[in-house]
Structure 1
């Protein structure tokens, strides 16, 4: 879908200047969108309707609910919005149950782990250097769980299912919580289930949630994952929220029973925004996911051609939205990271599983949401080459970044 151009606002031409300490601050101006090239793999662009939902009266309201001893008497029908959002999530992912009360991916992680793991239970997770979320180990140990890392093959960038099966045959685990934050390859749900037939297997799909409709080896709720959950603002282009889907009656009941004790408010306006995002993307979910992946592969190939050290060359560099670029020898995460920021390019420098060392972790989901296709990755690669390899002036590159960003002001796949 072609983007619709909009009129320039004052914030497009007047850069935001942080206030000097002691000055007042125009907070609304600070919150306005600034033209930039977003290569964060952890953000996306809301549609106008989904964004508008966040500014409604529902932002401060609770839905109607009853307990044996209480009634919360909402009169605006918010409970119906929650139910509609859950129905859309079930349709989107082909699941029997859905929960949309979670506040974020991390909140979902807390809720799922405490709902499904017995006291003192044994949990297997990905090590941070293998792509696991930075917080999972600390959270698990804080709850008193025994934590072990999943075996990971750094050559193929996949879980070593054979080694996992051998380990679990000697000592079973209660829960496998698969929390991949840095991920180039989709998880094989059936191979994982064969390796761990007796464990509860929970996928934290925060990064790949919007790509699951084209990942049949991963979107498996019957004979694969007991639950799939995660944040809804990365490859899925919704608000900052969390959701969970499952085919298991037991998992659905346990998570629902735990939910009131991890959050008293589910942020009704965000539930409405999530419902709109699901509704709008539902007819386009496979086209969008295919385009995100195609753009990532195109960008990775172009960067490799220009002299960047791009991970995953043996399998086409990436199967997801992420592109990993290794730093030159002696470079620190801050050198390129700060340079990219000065040039109005949003990016992340993290430890990459391909090297177990810091590198650039880029994503194409928001560029795709803008309406970009494979041919649009060439100017993106050119800007990165000029800035990081040829040493062009950051301020000069920043002006061209703004020009490119302004050419894509709308939202595609709605």
Structure 2
């Protein structure tokens, strides 16, 4: 992989691209929303389809010359329906957030009510944060996890729904490490005659592989990202029953966005084909096994693991009990210096600013893509523990950096 064609035109951008490729090769990507796609997916995303406007849908475009764009989008839809068992699929959203916007646009009016998981308790900006369009457009109330157990209180969720009477209940997360019980959320939605939107952005691949409960056929609408655990082109997806198909399609285009990014749709199609291979199930199972091993190893080093473990691809650590004077920002910065890249994250009962919170979030999708297993997760936990224990110790950092180098050298990326 090289960027010589770019370099001939723009050396400055080529330098940045080379630098980013080197950074990914030489570091451990543990941001839970990141992964490494195949070179085939990248090639599709960098294809001639980047030149093509294709407003509308296959067979009903507003521009001529869309026959190959139609082919690609139809392949992406067909493969998505096979992966998730959905009746209707829209692959045009530019992101998971825009997928959510598409659903809200289809079913809500300004001022309608959303009940969703609080950001500090693992939710997402697009579920109703006041700085996001959802918080500005709709009336939002948010449920929380039990601060003692770290689990969603489904009975409390139902009681809150009955008191608030939302128009839609949103399930899903950006930092909740446990399996979501979609059936129980649906029961709460049914009790108040609300829609149920299941946002599976983080677990799209885990659901496709059958290692996490699926909300398809349970919730009225399912949205997700098409990267993260699914390793397809960057973007979003909406799934629903045929009764909502027309409303969803109209809400995405022209309701929430213009022409689809057809090169990204091509990346989705290629990534979905890869996910249909039986080896993808093995990959997803290893992602979860790696996350559980990482959680157990960090707990053995004295860290407080929110909810006591994980059922998914991510581990959420509350630093306050073990390292009361160390913020998530301090830990993130020190770990990045040794080549381990994760993110500071809020935790249930957060007492600090979201800009420098009390926790860290670590994910295993990208490391698993590189071929790492449980043994490597033990080593990664050791790196995290030693650096967070002594974030200003140069000797500790030097040893940790050498261990990161050994791990990346043993599991090369894009060679």
Q: Does the 8 Å contact 1:344/1:401 carry over to 2?
A: yes
- Over aligned residue pairs, what C-alpha RMSD do you find? 2.7
Match of 1:146 in 2: 139
Mapping 1:12-411, distance limit 5 Å: 26-34=15-23, 35-63=26-54, 71-74=62-65, 77-135=68-126, 136-138=128-130, 139-143=133-137, 145-197=138-190, 198-213=193-208, 218-222=213-217, 224-246=218-240, 248-261=241-254, 262-283=256-277, 284-313=279-308, 317-327=309-319, 328-353=323-348, 358-389=358-389, 391=393, 392-410=395-413
Change (3 A) 1:69 1:343: closer
Specify every segment of 5 or more residues in structure 2 that has no aligned partner in the other structure, as ranges: 4-10, 352-356
Structure 1 residue 178 displacement after superposition: 2.4
Partners in 1 of 2:223 and 2:342 — Cα distance? 24
Give me the whole-angstrom Cα distance separating, in 2, the residues matched to 1:240 and 1:196.
Answer: 30
TM-score (norm 1): 0.86
**Take 2:164 and 2:329, find their aligned partners in 1: how far apart are those partners?**
42
Task: Tell me how far apart the structure 2 counterparts of residues 69 and 397 of structure 1 sit (CA, whole Å).
Answer: 56
How far does residue 66 in structure 1 lie from its aligned partner after superposition?
7.9
Q: Measured at CA, do residues 76 and 310 of structure 1 come closer, stay the same or move farther in structure 2, by a change above 3 Å?
A: same
Which has the larger displacement, 376-385 or 134-143? 134-143
Mark the CA change 1:157 to 1:310 in structure 2 (over 3 Å): closer, same or farther. closer
Task: Give the match for residue 8 of structure 2.
Answer: none
Runs of 4+ in 1 over 3 A off after TM superposition: 63-71, 167-171, 213-218, 354-357, 390-393
Contact 2:274 2:280 in 1 (8 A): no
CA distance in 1, matches of 2:386, 2:211: 38
Provide the C-alpha distance between the structure 2 equivalents of 1:360 and 1:345, rounded to a whole number of angstroms.
12
Distance 1:64 1:174 in 2: 30
Please give the secondary structure, in 2, of the residue aligned with 1:201. Answer: strand
Count of residues in correspondence between the two structures: 387
- The 2-side partners of 1:201 and 1:132 are apart by 15
Q: Structure 1: give runs of 5+ residues left out of the alignment.
A: 1-5, 11-22
Residue deviations 1:247-268 (CA, integer Å, cap 9, x gap): x223322110111232212111
8 Å Cα contact 2:293/2:374 also seen in 1: yes
Per-residue deviation, residues 122-174 of structure 1 (Å, max 9, x unmatched): 1111111111113432322322x111112532333333222232333344211
The DSSP-based 3-state class of the residue aligned with 1:118 is coil
* CA distance in structure 1 between the aligned counterparts of 2:201 and 2:46, rounded to whole angstroms: 25
Looking at secondary structure, tell me which structure has more helix per residue: 2
Give yes or no for contact 1:44–1:238 (8 Å, CA) kept in 2: no
